[in-house]
Amino acid sequence: MPEVKNFDCVIIGGGMIGAASALALAQLGLTIAIVEKTPPEEFSSSQPLDLRVSAISIASENLLTQLDAWQQIKQWRVCPYQRLSVWEQEYAYTEFNAQDIQQSHLGHIVENRLIQLSLWQQIVKHNNITLFCPQTLTSFTQNENNVEVELDKITLNAKLLIAADGANSKVRSLANIGITGWDYQQSAMLIKVKTQLPQQNITWQQFLPTGPVAMLPMPTVVISKQNNAEQNSLNQDKSENIYQGNASLVWYHQKNEIKRLSSLSNSQLQQKILQTFPKRLGDIFVENKASFPLTRRHANQYQQGRVLLLGDAAHTINPLAGQGVNLGFKDVLALQTIIAEAIGNGLCWSDINVLAGYEQKRRTDNLLMMSAMDGFYTAFSHPSSLLKALRNSALFISNKIPLVKERVLKHACGID
Ligand X SMILES: Cc1cc2nc3c(=O)[nH]c(=O)nc-3n(C[C@H](O)[C@H](O)[C@H](O)COP(=O)(O)OP(=O)(O)OC[C@H]3O[C@@H](n4cnc5c(N)ncnc54)[C@H](O)[C@@H]3O)c2cc1C
The distance of closest approach from Cβ of residue 142 to ligand X in the complex, given in angstroms and rounded to an integer, is: 17
Return the half-sphere exposure (C-beta side, CA atoms, 13 A cut-off) of residue 109. Answer: 28
55 vs 78, beta carbon nearer ligand X = 55
> Which H or E run includes 87?
strand 83-87
The distance of closest approach from Cβ of residue 203 to ligand X in the complex, given in angstroms and rounded to an integer, is: 9
DSSP 3-state of 325: helix
The distance of closest approach from Cβ of residue 164 to ligand X in the complex, given in angstroms and rounded to an integer, is: 5
208 vs 234, beta carbon nearer ligand X = 208
Closest to 190 measured CA to CA, from 243, 137, 112, 125: 112
At residue 17, φ and ψ (nearest 5 deg) are -80, -40
The distance of closest approach from Cβ of residue 372 to ligand X in the complex, given in angstroms and rounded to an integer, is: 15
35 vs 101, beta carbon nearer ligand X = 35
List the Cα angle 148/150/153 in 5-degree steps: 130
Q: State the DSSP code for 9.
A: E
214 vs 281, beta carbon nearer ligand X = 214
**Euclidean distance between CA atoms 412 and 44, whole angstroms:** 32
14 vs 212, beta carbon nearer ligand X = 14
15 vs 245, beta carbon nearer ligand X = 15
270: left (phi over 0), alpha (psi -120 to 50) or beta: alpha
198 vs 293, beta carbon nearer ligand X = 293
The distance of closest approach from Cβ of residue 323 to ligand X in the complex, given in angstroms and rounded to an integer, is: 6
Q: What does the binding site for ligand X look like in residue numbers (CB under 6 A)? A: 12-18, 35-38, 54-55, 112, 136-137, 164-166, 170, 188, 190, 292, 311-312, 319, 322-326, 328
Give one DSSP letter per residue of 235-272, joined into a string. HTTS-GGG--EEEEEEEEEEHHHHHHHHTS-HHHHHHH
Give one DSSP letter per residue of 217-240, joined into a string. EE------HHHHHHHHHHHTTS-G
Q: State the DSSP code for 48.
A: P
The distance of closest approach from Cβ of residue 33 to ligand X in the complex, given in angstroms and rounded to an integer, is: 11
DSSP 3-state of 54: strand
135 vs 195, beta carbon nearer ligand X = 135
The distance of closest approach from Cβ of residue 292 to ligand X in the complex, given in angstroms and rounded to an integer, is: 4
The distance of closest approach from Cβ of residue 55 to ligand X in the complex, given in angstroms and rounded to an integer, is: 4
Helix axes 112-125, 16-26, angle to 10 degrees: 30
